[in-house]
Amino acid sequence: MRIALTVVFVFLVQAHFLIFSFESKAEGVPEEYAQSNSTIDDIPKEPGWKSPAYRGWEVLSIPGLISTYYDLDLDGQLDYMVTRKISRKTSSEEIDMAQAIDIAQYDNLAVYFSNPIIYFANKYPLFYCKGLDYRKNCRNIWVDISEDGLNGNEEVYTLSSPLQNVQ
């Protein structure tokens, strides 16, 4: 009898905890960062480095990724980021800027200059991020697994619901 009561008690405690954890999942998260019903149409086209919205780039702490930042509404706050995979890098002592640009055009790559390193990255981004906070965390993220530009095959990316195509 005691064992049965213990089993029922443990079951009720676990069920209560499970219900509590689902009800409080988004508690304390600012509403602006709550999951939104964003669509592919919400992804802005990347303006490019000649645009007044361009704010720079950086190699991320995650090896092999490079991000470019933009201020689309020109209010002084970053609000758009694209992230590309670095395909290779070289020393600026080995080739000059003109040669690097020629190589990037020939291989259909993006090129980023940083003395003494020149980075060659995929032409099209892997991630598109709209709505950055002060720590460069994204509100809405899309992934383009095929890295073929904005053409409709991008998918909303969340850590809570992994994509079926990603392994």
Question: Is there a domain that residue 31 lies in?
Answer: no
pLDDT tens track for 63-91: 899 999 999 999 999 999 999 999 999 99
pLDDT digits (tens, 9 = 90+) for 7-55: 444 444 353 433 333 333 444 444 444 444 555 668 999 999 999 999 9
pLDDT tens track for 131-165: 999 898 888 999 999 999 999 999 998 766 555 55
Confidence at residue 52, expressed as pLDDT on a 0 to 100 scale: 96
Return the structure tokens found at 166: 């990603």
Residue 25 lies in a domain: no
Domain membership flag for residue 138: yes
Q: Is residue 28 part of a domain?
A: no
**How high is the pLDDT of residue 42?**
83
The pTM assigned to this predicted structure is 0.71
Note whether residue 1 is domain-resident. no
> Which two structure tokens, joined as six digits, stand for 18?
């499970």
Closest CA to 112 of 82, 79, 90: 90
Q: Provide the number of structural domains found in the chain.
A: 1
Is residue 49 included in any domain, yes or no? yes
At residue 115, the pLDDT reads 86
- Show the domain range for 145: 44-156
Contact in structure between 131 and 139 (CB atoms under 8 Å): yes
Structure tokens, 58: 């950086």
Q: Is residue 9 part of a domain?
A: no
